[in-house]
Amino acid sequence: IAVTALYRPQKVCLCPFLPLHPLHISTHLYIIQHPAEENKVLRTVPLLAACLPQDKCKVKIGRRFSEERDPELSTVCRKSDTLILYPGAEAANLEEFILDSPVYPSTIIIIDGTWSQAKDIFYKNSLFRLPKQVQLKTSVSSQYVIRTQPTNRCLSTLECAAAALSILEKNDYIQETLLRPLQALCSFQLQHGAQIRLSKEHLLKNGLYPKPMPKNKRKLRKMELLMNSVKI
């Protein structure tokens, strides 16, 4: 089963924190994973996949996707009931969108990678501009405290999926269940020497950023935007 893919020693095993049976959901979830994420030890997608039915959670790895390379994904992107979760000026709030949408969403696509990797995948694959773009409206800070995020509002892939599925399925229990193994993972890592990773935004605002400021003007501008809490 999917749990075996987590490969953790017994004393820090996450199996007790997973649901006994895969969660019953009607929504299909597609995770578009940057290849660099595949070999990272503390990634969240295996935890997510271990909680959901295999036919409802599909992970596709790559940087570039097209109709020729992936006919299945192309078909999914062209369906009127497919959404893609990616923040931006064009994105509708998910909770508000489903109230007014004439077609209730059956599929949601989430990109898994660093923010720069996700941005690259989203903007350089025309397929991902076909579904309706939505975003989460949240002020909650990430519980994935063992990995540095750009801002205090950035969430891990699992947290995004948990929030989106609980909204689409109208069931808060889904979010609670999906977050349980993530909370356990972070707790185990902190008990064994890991440090809480504060966001770049927090470090910059409080003069704690450990690296010299970049000389590249574009990168420097991004740092300044983070310090002023401007969405980038």
Percent of the chain whose predicted confidence (pLDDT) is above 90: 56
Average pLDDT for the chain: 82
Task: Determine phi and psi for 20, rounding to 5 degrees.
Answer: -60, -35
Element spanning 74, H or E:
helix 71-78
- Fill in the DSSP letter of residue 116: H
More confident residue, 152 or 73: 73
Say which CATH architecture domain 10-142+156-192 belongs to. Answer: 3-Layer(aba) Sandwich (3.40)
- Over residues 213-231, the mean pLDDT reads 55
Are the C-beta atoms of residues 96 and 138 closer than 8 Å to each other? no
pLDDT band at 78, cuts 50/70/90?
Answer: very high
φ and ψ at residue 149, rounded to 5 degrees: -110, 155
Listed in sequence order, the residues at least 6 apart from 31 whose beta carbon sits closer than 8 Å to its beta carbon are 45, 48, 49, 57, 58, 59, 60, 109, 110, 111, 112, 157, 161
pLDDT of residue 185: 85
Confidence of residue 148 (pLDDT cuts 50, 70, 90): low
How far is it, in rounded angstroms, from Cα 4 to Cα 6?
A: 5
Mean pLDDT in residue range 180-198: 74
Write the pLDDT tens digit of every residue in 94-115: 999 999 899 999 999 999 998 8
Hey, CA dihedral for 23, 29, 35, 37, is it positive or negative?
negative
Q: Among 86-95, 159-168, 182-191, which is the least confidently predicted range?
A: 182-191
User: For the chain, which residues make up each domain, given as ranges?
Assistant: 10-142+156-192, 198-231
